[in-house]
Amino acid sequence: MQSFIHIESPNYLRPENLSSPPDWGAVFGNQQPLALEIGCGVGDFMLKTALDHPETNFVAIDFYNKGCWKSCRRIDRHGVGNVRVLRDEARIFVTERIAKGSLSAVYINCPDPWPKKRHRKRRLVNREFVEFLLQYLAPGADFYFATDFDDYGLDVAQMLPEVAGLENQFAPDQYRHEFPGYHLSKYMRKFMAEGKRIYFVHYRAK
C-alpha cells in the first residue's frame, strides 16, 4: 500500500480547517474571481493556467494525496500566489466549500474514463454532475472538459447541449481536437504521445 504523504505547504489547505463556505477573499487576501480545477493530478495544468491568469484565484482539488503533494511542490517552487491545493472529493468539496453562483471557471481534464461498460456510471462528468455544478457557476463562467477517451468525449459533447443555462463556445462544433491557448496536462500529453486525440469541450454559463 502506498504511504500517505504529509503535505507541508503554505498553499495546501485542509478542508476541515475551512468554514462552509470559506471567505475565499480572506484565504487569498484579495477579491479576485475564483476558479476550480477538479482532479488536478500533479498540478502541471494548474501551474501554467494560474501563471497565465494572475487576475484569478484558483483552487485545485484532487482526492489523490500524492498528486496534491506534487501539485503543492510545483506551485511552491514557482512562487505562485494565486493557487491553493486541497485533497477532497469534487461533489463534497463543491457542496461544502463553494457558494452558489460564485465560480468564474471550472476545469476538468482527463477524468478517470472507467472504460468498462459496467463501470460507466462511476464517471464523474454526466448530466447530473453538470447540472449540479451549474448552480455554483457565476453568469459568464467557463466550463472546460477534456478527455482522450472517445466514448467519454462524445457522451459529454452530446449531453451538454441538452443542459439549459450553458452556451457552447465551440458552436457549431460540439467539441474540438485542438484548443489553442489551453494548456496540455500530463495525461493529455501522455495520450497524445500514444497517438490519441483529445476531445476539448468549452461551454459558458448564461
Ligand X SMILES: C[S@@+](CC[C@H](N)C(=O)[O-])C[C@H]1O[C@@H](n2cnc3c(N)ncnc32)[C@H](O)[C@@H]1O
Q: Which residues bind ligand X (CB under 6 A)?
A: 38-41, 61-64, 67, 89-90, 109-112, 124, 185-188
Closest CA to 125 of 141, 139, 138, 106: 106
- Nearest approach in angstroms of CB 88 to ligand X is 7
Residue type at 67 in one-letter notation: G
Would you say 2 or 172 has its CB closer to ligand X?
2
Would you say 11 or 49 has its CB closer to ligand X?
49
Beta-carbon count within 10 A of 3 CB: 7
Helix 44-52 crosses helix 65-77 at what angle (to 10 degrees)?
A: 40
> Catalytic one among 76, 112, 142, 151?
112
Would you say 80 or 167 has its CB closer to ligand X?
80
- Nearest approach in angstroms of CB 139 to ligand X is 25
Order of all β-strands in the sheet with 103-109: 12-13, 83-87, 57-62, 34-38, 103-109, 137-147, 199-205, 166-168
- Nearest approach in angstroms of CB 130 to ligand X is 14
* DSSP H or E segment with residue 97: helix 90-97
- Nearest approach in angstroms of CB 172 to ligand X is 27
Q: Which three cell numbers stand for residue 148?
A: 482522450
Please check whether residue 96 is in contact with residue 21, taking contact to mean a CB–CB distance below 8 angstroms: yes
Is 112 among the catalytic positions? yes
Would you say 25 or 115 has its CB closer to ligand X?
115
- Nearest approach in angstroms of CB 39 to ligand X is 3
Cα 14 vs. chain centroid, distance in angstroms? 18
Please check whether residue 45 is in contact with residue 102, taking contact to mean a CB–CB distance below 8 angstroms: no
Would you say 100 or 189 has its CB closer to ligand X?
189
Residues marked as catalytic = 112
